[in-house]
Amino acid sequence: MSRSKPRSLEEFVKFALQRRYTQASRLRKLIDRRKEVKQIFELDDQYLDRYNKFVDAYNKAIEGMSEEEVAVSGKTIDMSEFGGEGRIQLRSAQKITQDNANFRQIKNFYNKLVPEIAQERDQFGHKNISVLRASIALVLDGDAQGTVLTKTERQQLLALYSIVKQIDAITELDGTDKFDLINDLRDIAQRGPNLKAQWQKDVDIVKGISGQIEIEVEYEELNQYKGRLAAWVGEIFSGIIQEDTEIFEKYIGEIDISKMKGSNNLEEDIEDAFGEYLGRGFKTNYKKNKPKPTKTSASKKSKKVKTTTPQRKKSKRAKKAVAQRGIASQPLLLLTALNKKLPQTVGKNMTPPRLTYQTGRFADSVRITDINNTAQGYPSIGYTYQKDPYQVFEKGGRYSPDYDPRKLIDMSIREIAAQFAIGRFYTRRE
């Protein structure tokens, strides 16, 4: 019997790619459950003195206690002693002072520290990334290889992502409505942006890989105003996930979103890597400095290869095979391309039962050292990582075999290699 609700961010993505929609409220809970996610609340200056008095009371209450004892303590602090209301347990206060609290815990704490928030009917919300935007970003990331969503659906999600970014940026009741958002989308779509860096940053935040979620208090009217616009986008998002082929056109209209991109294609990735290897950094510079063929060289080429119509009709598959062998046969280019993507890919794959992502130290330490060819002509990719303290997991013993860093790194290298259509190869830990 399949589960009716996902129990992790990974399951949320799996549900979406199985064409099963999950409510935003459920995703908020899943983000809250992920201990790696950092959520920060910026307190108004007028209440800083109250917060500092709370910290003083907390430090006094934990004197002589270890962190482990504080983490399970039922002892409480009276918030009324410095202008607040109610009491808070030390174990909850510890998470607040160490910036390890989730959205619900932050909301409960500040409602007690600053009861004026509830009295003025202000509401807590995510400042730099909404739950709806996180939903769309996670699905785009989950289908990065284009295995489930159609090209049209993917571009529609990119369009919705752009709209939600506009909604998230609203800071006052300025009268923005659906028509304004659609018109803005039309302008954005004409520019044909590549949004991968933007949605990838959001994915890293909600997975706890890097960055943090900023929490703020909004006026109730503003919060509800943005909520109504988001609900409209959420309905379209739900329809796309459940294969409603008409809902986007119904609400958004005839906007050409064909130029919007969510990632580089294979050719662009290779050019990026090659440009980086040459020390130029960007593919545009590489193209600009690429020498143009002279008339003499073009003439020689035409004499050397006489192309006839039958030859032009030869299988395109042969040309593709040559292109696929290209990067694999250029070790320096392949090494650069792999190293460019490896830390991020390893970090993404650090989920149970494997090593889990916490500080990013392990993922950032992984790098390709060299690429040789075996006697049979296949690439042999050497890699290394920070062996202290992670090499201990190679030995097994009391640790699960799934913790072995070599398995994680091999898996990540093969995931990247698949994007470059590289065939058989081997990996080895240096």
| Amino acid letter for position 209 | I
Query: Does any domain span residue 321?
Result: yes
Q: Whole-angstrom Cα distance, residue 289 to residue 377?
A: 33
SS3 194: strand
* pLDDT of 313: 40
Q: Whole-angstrom Cα distance, residue 355 to residue 377?
A: 33
Q: What's the total number of domains in the chain?
A: 2
Question: What DSSP line would sit under 72-138, residue for residue?
Answer: T---EEEGGGGT--SEEEHHHHHHHHTT---HHHHHHHHHHH-THHHHTT-EEEESS--HHHHHHHH
Mean pLDDT, 10 residues at a time, the chain of 430 residues: 82 93 92 88 83 93 93 93 93 90 91 85 85 96 83 94 94 90 92 89 90 87 93 96 93 89 60 50 39 41 38 40 48 80 88 84 89 84 90 83 92 86 86
Contacts of 202 (CB under 8 A, 6+ apart): 129, 133, 134, 137
Question: What DSSP line would sit under 123-183, residue for residue?
Answer: EEEESS--HHHHHHHHHHHHTTT-SSS-HHHHHHHHHHHHHHHHHHT--S-----HHHHHH
Are 22 and 169 within one domain?
A: yes
139, two tokens = 């699905």
Are 324 and 239 within one domain?
A: no
Query: Does any domain span residue 175?
Result: yes
Cβ atoms of 184 and 257 closer than 8 Å: no
Are 242 and 328 within one domain?
A: no
Query: Does any domain span residue 399?
Result: yes
Burial classification of residue 66, based on how many CB atoms lie within 10 Å of its CB (0-12 exposed, 13-18 middle, 19 or more buried): exposed
Domain that holds residue 324: 310-429
- Cα 211-213-219 angle, rounded to 5 deg: 150
* pLDDT of 296: 41
SS3 379: strand
Q: Whole-angstrom Cα distance, residue 410 to residue 177?
A: 49
Enter the DSSP assignment of 209. Answer: S
Q: Which of the listed residues 220, 252, 284 is the one where a domain comes to its end?
A: 252
Q: Whole-angstrom Cα distance, residue 263 to residue 269?
A: 9
Query: Does any domain span residue 275?
Result: no
* Mode of pairing for the β-strands spanning 213-218 and 39-41: parallel
Q: Provide the CATH number for the domain around residue 400.
A: 3.30.300
Are 235 and 323 within one domain?
A: no
Dihedral sign for Cα 319, 322, 326, 328, please: positive
Are 207 and 324 within one domain?
A: no
Q: Nearest to residue 133, comparing CAs of 59, 58, 229?
A: 229
* pLDDT of 6: 94
Q: Which of the listed residues 252, 267, 300 is the one where a domain comes to its end?
A: 252
Query: Does any domain span residue 188?
Result: yes
Are 240 and 138 within one domain?
A: yes
**Cis amide prior to 353 (ω within 30 degrees):** yes
Are 317 and 177 within one domain?
A: no
Q: Whole-angstrom Cα distance, residue 361 to residue 359?
A: 5
